[in-house]
Each structure stands twice: as structure tokens, then as C-alpha cells.
Structure 1
């Protein structure tokens, strides 16, 4: 007898087969979903957090989500995020410039009125706790195919020794030979000519003064091009003025126009929570580096100028007392060079930089003495061609005078990148780089943050230029200078490449901002978007059962002086650090430093800290005082002023 299944059983079998078929077809998706759920479960386990830390996305109200190009921790504990126009030319043309103040303690936000386009400015902490912001954007770049009008540099001459002249934006210059007309894109001030009298003969010599301004043709297209050097009259001048004042240009064409910088400078007052205008720089700068000097003055170097060229070595110093700028030693650097104040007052250039300048100029690492304007090259770094977009950090404690360089890539849009790290001991008789441990993979734009336990969190970056080919690296690791090795950290959820920043918060966490990938897909066929999410990393040391705390101390200490605090954890406290707050952009942070303090403990629970006397080791300003216990667990920071 032949068995025939019932109709109901046939339905079950057919249905089961269909389910099995669908399950087979969807196995990768089911597996991926299951894997993701398991990963989410695993990273939220206490044991995992204690070993690797944990990342959380910050809840930011929509109105406060900006294209964070710059981030600075202020002595109020708040973080200033600066977008300016945010690498968005529409914002630039609309004069929509943004800054947001974030309070990590309460997770509150405040919009800050932003007077100029601070996109790609430089910034530094001042002795009084204000943040100096200098430079920014005067004009967005135009690629050759997008240039619609001939233009370029016009040198404006003044042969009148009796008075300077000011010409407004829109001033018209007319070619004396062919009548072609160009207008000034910006105002220009021309000093009076210099007059000298020979004491012996009485002969008077007048030397014309000059200033320069970017000009554009009044007509579109090739008819506006001038390929030969020519003199230009200034429309509206008559009589002697017409002879004394004129323009000179060598070529006004339709080639690529680079970004152009501004001279404006501001201080941000963390207490009043507003920008204050200070004297402008002598040179316009876009992508400059600002670095604190031992005397509290600020050095400004490099950047693209008001014509879109790298500033040709004209460096200047800001005096916080007079709020004025003066020229200093001449030396050429590519834009955003990583410069560190060293013990003794010299400046160390790690070789890392972020963007513009020829491959063969100003890229050799070395020690720069400003007083003598001498530069001592530091040899030994491997993959020297891959120092653009590299990270740099003055390792803790600062007394060791060791600087680490991490990753980097080739000049411009090169696809080259490296996993190399290298370390230099600046106290050596003949400083030279030696190899450090490799990064997990070749990385550009890596952010490196000093932690209170002397380790360094390194996170993010991409393998290719601006994350091309979906090459963002969703990895983080922690470098230990004692073992000279990396250990894995929890993986961030958000990719970070160009225009990203990371900094230490007073509670020991790390906040990461920004990212500006060129494309939005692996095939590089869709435009990228600016990453406005903020991600917070909680290191493993914050998942321990207890941590030390300080109370009852003063808010100011002189260099070479001591301060006493109360603590219930005196017996377990192992180390104390003064940590200078960050001011970071383009993964470049030359402000952060961690300074070891001498410790003296008392039986009554008092603990006294002594600050080094050397101003080149401890520049004036506000610092976070942090202690760590014998497990490396840090206290919450106490803000203290070192005048």
C-alpha cells in the first residue's frame, strides 16, 4: 500500500521547504543581524568596558549640530566648537558663520555670535585663559574649470611720501595698454612712500611703498585674460595722485584659485562667552599654526595668504598684553605645521603638517631657535614622504621631552599612507627619530589624545585621502610609552578623517568631533557629507570601582610654587599631572601637554603638589590638575591657574 500524506501535512511540508529556502537565501542577512546584535551585547558588558572602554553618541539638538572644524577646551570646562562657514561655500556667501559652546557636564549648548569666517584659522590658549583665534577664510578655492573670471595678484604702488592711501573693495584698475578693467575683491591700504635725505649732499630719494590685493576681471571668460606684465591706472584718481598711485600685475589668468586667508584675530572670553576683536595680523593666514612661547607670547606661522599662496616664511608674534603683532624670525613651513615648545624655549617641528606647500620645501623635521633663527634638522624618520596629515604628540610627562609622530600620507591628494610611528628624544645630544610600534594599518588624519595616566588614545583616520574608497578606519588603540606598545580599544561607531578633532574632557573622557570625507560611497560616485555627530569615549580607567578625588585647594599657583589639597585617597595616589587644555584642528593639537608634579603627602590626608619653575615647560595659563592612583585611575580635574 502506497502511503499518501494528508493535505494538511503536504501544506506543512511545502511551507517548511519554503521557509528553509528563504532562510537559506537570507542566511547572510540573518547572520549579519545576529552578529551585530551579539556585538552590541558584547561591547556593553562590564568586563568588555573595563578592558577596552566604551563609545557613546552624544544627543545634540538639531539647531546646535555644526560642521566642527575647530575644538578647544576652555577653563570653564566648556568646549568651543568653531565651524565658521564649515567648508560650505553657500554659508560663506551668505556670511553664515557658526560657533557653538558645549557644556559636557550638563550636556547643554549655546550659539555664539561669530564675527568672521574662522574656517581654517589657528588658535591657542592665552595666559589669562582666553582663546586666541587668528586667520580664517577670505575666499573659497576655485578649480580651473570653475573659474569664470581672469584674476590674480595686483601690486598697488604709492610714490607719495606725504600720506598713505586706502582703497575700498571694488576699486577699479585699468590696464594702461589695452584698457582691460579689473576690480579689487578686498579693501587695500597702501603706506606712504619712504623719503630719505642724504646728509652729505641733501639729495632726496623717494622709494615707493606697496601693498597687494586680489583682483578679478569685470568681464567673464577669456576676454579678461592678460598674459603680460602691465601697469594699471586707478579709476577716479586725477592730477598727481594718478601718477603717484598705480597697480602692477605680471599675469591675470583663469588658472586655479586657492583659498585665501584673512588677517583678523579675536580672543574668545570663556567667562563672558563672546569674541573680542584684537589687532589683525600683519599677514593674512588660512591654515596657520599658533603656538605658545615660554614668555606667554604666541608665534603664528605659515598659512595661505591674501593671494592664496603659502606665506613665504613671514612669521609673527602676538603680545597678549598689548594685543598687537610684530614680525619675528623668517622661516618657511607648509600649512598647519606641528610645532612644539621645548624645554629651553626652542620650537620643535615634528615634520607633520596638514595640506599646502611644495613637496620639497619646509618639510624636514628639526629644532628651531627663534632668537638666532637657526634650524637644526632631526634625522631618522622613515616614510618621510608621508608626513602630511600625520598626527603628533608631546608624550607625557612633558619633562621627558619625547615627541611621537603617527601615520600620515603623501603630499596633496596622494593615495600613499603609512602605519609608521616614530619617537624623538629631544634631550639627546643629537636628537634623531627612532621607530615606534606600527599602527594597525596605514592611517592619515589620526587623532592622538593625552590621557591622565600618561597613555595616548589614538583614534579614527582613513587610509586614503579624505576617506576615498570608504577607507575610514573604525578602530582605536591606546599607546603606552612605558611598554612602547599599542593595545586595542573599543571601536568607534563613526568614521573620522579630514576636519576631525578629539580632545580630553575634565572628567577623563575623550570627545571626538567632525569629519569631512570627499565621497559618500566606496566607488567614489556620490558627494560626501560633513559628520556632525559627536562621539564620546570612556576609557577603561573610568569603569573601575573607585577613583581618587581632590578638594579644598586654591585655584592659582606660581611656577616653582606648591599647592595643598585634601583627599581621602592619599595612600593610593601615585602621580599628579598638570594637563594643558587642547585647541585642535585638522587632527593637529600642539597645545596639549602633561606635566609631572612633585608630590608630598601628609598623615592628615593633605597632599601637596609642586609645580616646575621652567616657563618653557609650564607656559602661563589654565591647567587641569589630575591625580592618578596606583591602578592608574584618574581623578576628576581641578582647574588651576599658573600665571
Structure 2
């Protein structure tokens, strides 16, 4: 808890502020501006201001630990894993410099973590045992059309042999009939052909299998371009292999090359503080969403694949028990779709997303029944063409099954932005979005954090794409679901837009990381600089006296069971919440959810009961907060729900 700052009360302090104000009034607007700044700096550090709006502090991170934070994950140890990978830096990508930093907010200490792959723009989620799954990342940076040196594109590698599969290494050469040569940029595995025997004629029918790989021409410039569909011989094959294995490609050109994803997946263990490689995905993914399901398995959707195209609805399921992936129901989404597990196990798509995909495909919100693979769209959402870079949360408590959408922008580099918020009640017979209160500003990239007192803290964002025109919004506010209204919080000192993350910490503070502006000036003439400073917000409830304290508690509980927690403050505790730790990136955080617990007074403490619903309470580690009638929360106690 932040130390209370005593209100400046000396005659000398008041005289100095007053003298500056008198001077300002008597002289010029510039002096008045200086005076207002000085008074504001004084005001935001007073007890009354902090008790009403809270307070921001910049954290000192030593230079050797600083990084371009793209992903932020709260671990069950209370530490925060910050992942940059190459950090949106081509130089670091080409140099193989991939970064992660572990931050302990309680001690404000840091540790560098060896990072084996470029996890830049991967997906991640909390697993039931407290480990974190990170899947996908960057295989290749985008190259604009004028900078592309060699023609390239997707090559389908065909296999007509039903008796063998084959893996072709990176650098495999594909020869066209006209003598042009192309090389694969990644290894590619081609499964055996499909063989079927007719029960009537007894004849065998063989259907070729295929796999896709990105290739580039050996020759630079226009000489490597192919504008027609052609078949390609694979260099080095002889005899039947030469007949059975071959490539087919459409246009291989010099047009813009998008980012490309990887198939690799890792688990990060908070105990060992190391990454461990697990089974690879079938699809390469860059900008994917990972969502933990009711059975503890993980759904992976969307992302850009190994040729830079949005994965065409090929989703996968990760099993933590076997560390392997299997096929999931097919459903197309744009990249980083905002997905929420709902009671009953269905998945709700709010329409929020963070980037790639056509404007007219996969953008409508709706309810996805994985078992039947059906999708029921929902209506009523105002400004539905500004859902990209919007925020979405499952409002607290999760039992209410209400999802709220905050702000957002137009598709791609659009100048569009909206102040719209909207709420949908998923328990209604026919769920429809209804209007919420407008944000104070038209905002995209707004971070949203669930708080222990059932409010939603929102901060930052910008009015234009990646903060263009110095449009960062230095404002924060709380949304209260009970009153359906916003109230102002203290203004942050640091602007945040693209590549920003925010997390609730176990002590009740909120930490905010990152920001990747496109430009560094209002005229959009200078390149932007990645924001590496960490800013931490202390809410008003941390400036109240007599905060509830929780004592000893069982380390684990099963769903449907009750546990007793020792506390001397039992008589004034009115609510208890299980808050799942967040894992945030690109204005998305599907791990965070706040579940109301049954609460009773007990001798020397409180007894809380966990709901018996795996689709409401995911297995794993949670923060348990107890809150008094004023809305003041305790520090969290970590509980493992099994």
C-alpha cells in the first residue's frame, strides 16, 4: 500500500503557490501556464486528490532490463513476465536478439530471461497448473512493395505417394519449366497421399496430399516474377519420388510481404522461471488468440500464417496433459479476436480485434457453439465498423455474463475512432447489445482492467491510428457497472497507444507497459520511439485508512467447496472475489475475470464458497480479494482452484 503523503500545510508552501498565481495573472499567458502546471503538480500529490482520483508513479527500471514490452503476464508468484521478443525492431529480429524481463512489483527487482524464439506478437494464456502457454510469434517481418528484392509467395508442395510422408528442409529448390528457381524459406512436412479402395470395384483411388511453404526467387528483381500458375520440379528427386512430389504456385511476385508467423509453442514455468518448448501447432500464427476452455485445454484461433495470410479458420486445441495440439472446429476470425468463455462452455466473440483481415469477413459479433460448430450473430452494436483496436471485458462479477465493448477504430490505418461503449447480456434469451455511456474521448487502444471493487479501470489510448498527430489521450477513468457511468481518475503522465498492456497487481495497483507510436511529432514527420517506461496507478481505495487484511488460507480449493480464511476484519468484509490473473497484449486480455464468491462470517475469519462451474471458474491460480462496505479491498491471497 502506498504511503500516505501528508498535506502541505506550511505557510511558506501556500505563499509560494499563491505568489506564482499572482505573478501569472499580472504578466503573460506563458507564465499562467507555468503556474497552472505548478499548481497541478502540487494538487495531484495532496491527500484529498489521491483519495478522490488515485495517483500515478513512474517505476525505475534499470537500463539493462528495459525492453519493448509487447506482452505482459501476471504469474502466480506475483511477478510479471514482460515479453518483447524482437520488440517490433527489424534490427533485433535480424540479429536474433529476443528479450523477456521478469519484474517483481513487491520488491521492484528485475531479472533477464533467456528467450529462445521471437515471441513478438504471439498468443498466450494461463494454464491450470500456473504455467503460461505462449504460442506463435514472428518468422518474418513485413516488407513494403518498393523494398521487396526477390519475388516470392506460397508454394503448394504435393505428395501423390500414399506410402510415405516427407519433410523438405529450408532451402529446398523448386524449378520451373522455364528455368526459374525458387527456394523454400522454412522446412515443410508433406503427409502421405490419401488412398481409398472402392467396395464395389476394388480399385484404389489416390488423392494427393499437400502442404504450403513460402518460397523466394534466386534471382533478384523482375526476372524472378511468375504471373501464371505453374508446376515445379523439386531439385534432387529421382525416379518415382520425382513423379510423386512436386510444387504448384500461382503468382510469385514483388508485391508487399506481410508478417509471417511461426508454429512453435512454449510453456513458461513461474517456479523455474524458464521457457520449455512443447509441441508445435499445425498452423503458423502471428497475432493469434489463445483461450482457456472449461476443461483446461486451450483454443488457438486466427493469426497470420507462414505465408503472411490470415489463417483461414483452421483452429487448434492444446492439451496441457500431453503438450500436443489437435484439430478444433473451423471458424474464421480476424487477428487477435476478443473471445470469452461463457457459462455452458460456449464462446462469445465481441467483435473486437486488433488488426489483420478483410473488413467484410469475420467481424460480426456472436456466440460460437464449439460442440456443434454453429455461430449465432448478435445485433445492436453502434459503430460496428470501428471495432478494430477496441477493448472488451467480461464485466464483474462474471456470474452476470455481461460483456462490454469500449471505443475502437476503423479497419487498418483508418482515422476513424469512436467514444461508443456497449453492453450485452449473454443470459438474455436473445442477447442484443445496448448502449453504454460514451467515453470522454474518441478512443482506440484503450486498456481495460477488472478491479477488486467490481469497477473497470480504463486508461490511455489515442484518437488516431498508433497515436498519429500526437493524439495520445492522457486520461483514465473507472466504469461502474452498478451505476452504468464513468468517473474520472488521475491522469497518467505517459501516453499509450499501440502495443500497450495493463495488469491488476496482487496489492490492488495497476501497472501499465509499452506503447509504440508510429510518429514522434504532431506533423507526423519523425519516427516514433517505443515507450519503455512503466507507470503504476494506485487507486483511491489505497489511500483509505484501515484496509482489510487476510491471514492464513488454504493453498487450494475444489470448485463447489468452501474454505475459511483467517482475518480480524471479518465483521466489515462484505464481498469476496476470485480474480484470474491477466495476460495482456494488443488491448486484449481474456484471462482476466472476476468471480463472486459465497461469503459467510466464521469464527476468527470468513468462509468463502467457490461456484461449481468450470465454465465460470477456470481451473488455475486466482487472486482472492476481500472488500469492505466502502469498497476497500485487501491485498490478494493466491488460491489454486482445481
Q: Indicate whether the TM-score tops 0.5.
A: yes
The answer to whether the 8 Å contact 2:231/2:248 transfers is yes
Q: Distance in 1 between matches of 2:48 and 2:600?
A: 35
SS at match of 1:218: strand
Q: Distance in 2 between matches of 1:201 and 1:488?
A: 77
Please state if 1:480 is matched with 2:480.
Answer: yes
SS at match of 2:175: strand
Aligned pairs for 1:196-595 within 5 A = 196-595=196-595
Per the TM alignment, residue 23 of structure 1 is displaced from its structure 2 partner at its CA by 10
- Residues 26 and 205 of structure 1, relative CA distance in 2, 3 Å threshold: farther
Per the TM alignment, residue 224 of structure 1 is displaced from its structure 2 partner at its CA by 0.7
Q: Distance in 1 between matches of 2:194 and 2:400?
A: 51
Counterpart in 1 of 2:67? Answer: 66
Deviations 1:98-151 (A, max 9, x none): 111110010111111111111011111100000000011111111111111110
**TM-score (normalizing by structure 1):** 0.95
Counterpart in 1 of 2:53? Answer: 52
Q: Distance in 1 between matches of 2:304 and 2:275?
A: 23
SS at match of 1:470: coil
Per the TM alignment, residue 195 of structure 1 is displaced from its structure 2 partner at its CA by 2.3
Deviations 1:295-334 (A, max 9, x none): 1111111111111111111111111111111111111111
Please state if 1:632 is matched with 2:631.
Answer: yes
Per the TM alignment, residue 284 of structure 1 is displaced from its structure 2 partner at its CA by 0.7
Q: Distance in 2 between matches of 1:243 and 1:368?
A: 44
Aligned pairs for 1:96-111 within 5 A = 96-111=97-112
Counterpart in 2 of 1:123? Answer: 124
Deviations 1:602-628 (A, max 9, x none): 2x3221000000110001010000000
The answer to whether the 8 Å contact 2:67/2:87 transfers is yes
Counterpart in 1 of 2:114? Answer: 113
Structure 2: tracts of 5 or more residues without a match = 1-22
Q: Distance in 2 between matches of 1:503 and 1:577?
A: 16
Q: Distance in 2 between matches of 1:277 and 1:24?
A: 65
RMSD: 1.3
Deviations 1:198-231 (A, max 9, x none): 3443322222111110001111111110001111
The total of aligned residue pairs comes to: 620
Per the TM alignment, residue 32 of structure 1 is displaced from its structure 2 partner at its CA by 2.8
Per the TM alignment, residue 240 of structure 1 is displaced from its structure 2 partner at its CA by 1.9
- Residues 441 and 129 of structure 1, relative CA distance in 2, 3 Å threshold: same
Aligned pairs for 1:53-202 within 5 A = 53-176=54-177, 178-202=178-202
Q: Distance in 2 between matches of 1:363 and 1:197?
A: 43
Identify the range of structure 1 (321-330 vs 577-586) with the bigger mean alpha-carbon deviation: 321-330
Please state if 1:34 is matched with 2:35.
Answer: yes
Q: Distance in 1 between matches of 2:544 and 2:346?
A: 40
The answer to whether the 8 Å contact 2:25/2:32 transfers is no
Please state if 1:605 is matched with 2:604.
Answer: yes
Per the TM alignment, residue 503 of structure 1 is displaced from its structure 2 partner at its CA by 0.6
SS at match of 1:277: strand
Q: Distance in 2 between matches of 1:23 and 1:157?
A: 78
Q: Distance in 1 between matches of 2:219 and 2:27?
A: 61
Q: Distance in 1 between matches of 2:186 and 2:27?
A: 62
SS at match of 1:32: helix
Counterpart in 2 of 1:623? Answer: 622
SS at match of 1:408: coil
Identify the range of structure 1 (64-73 vs 155-164) with the bigger mean alpha-carbon deviation: 155-164
Counterpart in 1 of 2:8? Answer: none
Q: Distance in 2 between matches of 1:385 and 1:200?
A: 54
The answer to whether the 8 Å contact 2:24/2:35 transfers is no
Counterpart in 2 of 1:11? Answer: none
Counterpart in 2 of 1:14? Answer: none
Deviations 1:270-310 (A, max 9, x none): 00100111101111111010111111111111111111111
Deviations 1:408-453 (A, max 9, x none): 0100000000000000111111100100000001000000000000
The answer to whether the 8 Å contact 2:24/2:32 transfers is no
Q: Distance in 1 between matches of 2:109 and 2:27?
A: 44
Deviations 1:210-264 (A, max 9, x none): 1110001111111110001111111112222222111110110011111111111
**TM-score (normalizing by structure 2):** 0.95
Deviations 1:4-47 (A, max 9, x none): xxxxxxxxxxxxxxxxxx99999344333322221111100010
Q: Distance in 1 between matches of 2:194 and 2:361?
A: 34
Q: Distance in 1 between matches of 2:24 and 2:152?
A: 64
Deviations 1:368-422 (A, max 9, x none): 1000011111110100000000000111000000110000010000000000000
Per the TM alignment, residue 64 of structure 1 is displaced from its structure 2 partner at its CA by 0.7
SS at match of 1:219: strand
Per the TM alignment, residue 547 of structure 1 is displaced from its structure 2 partner at its CA by 0.5
Q: Distance in 2 between matches of 1:492 and 1:355?
A: 26
Q: Distance in 2 between matches of 1:527 and 1:481?
A: 40
- Residues 528 and 612 of structure 1, relative CA distance in 2, 3 Å threshold: same
SS at match of 1:628: strand
Per the TM alignment, residue 171 of structure 1 is displaced from its structure 2 partner at its CA by 1.0
Per the TM alignment, residue 196 of structure 1 is displaced from its structure 2 partner at its CA by 2.5
Q: Distance in 2 between matches of 1:529 and 1:448?
A: 24
Counterpart in 2 of 1:10? Answer: none
Q: Distance in 1 between matches of 2:76 and 2:39?
A: 41
